[in-house]
């Protein structure tokens, strides 16, 4: 993939969208074949309440690129790249280990609706509760899978996580 972390990093990051808001299908980018593939249909009756993707050019502790949820009122198509502002992160672990998610909003020019969100504390509690509820339950019916949420991180912590995960 020739997409970078972002030319305005750390102020903005590029997010490669894998899963659009409202989908109950989990898509994943296949680096070898350079296509977005269907990974699975969620076993629960839930849908992703946000757009979901990753920061290109990064590698998290789990060996995959850093995961990002992009808050928006509109779904973004899989395979598109969205410039977004990291505003925090959600700390979590799953059956495979640490699986922190960066939380971002589209840059103001793309969607000014979220221009007032600069930090995790600016996100309404109702929306944060939706994120927690989704992640605590979306794997529930899959044998051997689980998720545990351990808290929130600031925008500075999110950017440090991304910097640490950038491939040399």
For the chain, list the domains and their CATH numbers: 13-165 (3.90.80.10)
Contacts of 126 (CB under 8 A, 6+ apart): none
Is 122 annotated in a binding site? The answer is no
Residues 67-95, mean pLDDT to the nearest whole number: 96
Report strand pairing: 81-94 vs 35-41. Answer: unpaired
In sequence order, what are the beta bridge partners of 11?
A: none
In sequence order, what are the beta bridge partners of 83?
A: 14
Is 138 annotated in a binding site? The answer is yes
In angstroms, how far is CA 126 from the centroid of its own chain? 18
Query: Model-level pTM?
Result: 0.93
Q: Across all residues in the chain, what is the average pLDDT?
A: 94
What is the Cα–Cα distance from 123 to 125, expressed in whole angstroms? 6
Residue 83: count of CB within 10 angstroms of its CB: 18
Is 52 annotated in a binding site? The answer is yes
Is 67 annotated in a binding site? The answer is yes
Residue 85: count of CB within 10 angstroms of its CB: 22
Find out whether 5 and 158 touch, Cβ atoms under 8 Å. no
The tens digit of pLDDT for each residue in 88-136 reads: 999 999 998 899 999 999 999 999 999 999 999 999 999 999 999 999 9
* pLDDT for residue 10: 84
Find, among 144, 42, 163, the residue nearest to 102 by Cα.
Answer: 163
* pLDDT for residue 74: 96
Is 125 annotated in a binding site? The answer is no
Is 163 annotated in a binding site? The answer is no
In angstroms, how far is CA 95 from the centroid of its own chain? 18
pLDDT of 137 > 80? The answer is yes
The total number of residues shown for the chain amounts to 168
């Amino acid at each position: 993939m020739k997409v970078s972390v972002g030319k305005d990093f750390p102020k903005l990051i590029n997010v490669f969208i894998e899963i659009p808001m409202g989908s109950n299908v989990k898509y994943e980018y296949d680096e070898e074949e350079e296509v977005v593939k269907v990974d699975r249909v969620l076993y629960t009756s839930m849908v992703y309440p946000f757009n979901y993707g990753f920061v290109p050019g990064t590698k998290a502790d789990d060996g995959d690129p850093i995961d990002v949820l992009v808050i928006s009122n509109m779904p973004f198509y899989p395979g598109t790249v969205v410039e977004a502002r990291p505003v925090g992160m959600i700390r979590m672990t799953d059956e495979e280990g640490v699986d922190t998610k960066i939380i971002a909003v589209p840059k103001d020019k793309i969607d000014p609706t979220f221009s007032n969100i600069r930090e995790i504390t600016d996100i309404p509690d109702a929306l944060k509760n939706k994120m927690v509820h989704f992640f605590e339950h979306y794997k529930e019916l899959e044998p051997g899978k689980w998720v545990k949420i351990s808290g929130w991180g600031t925008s500075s912590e999110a950017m440090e996580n991304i910097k640490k995960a950038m491939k040399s």
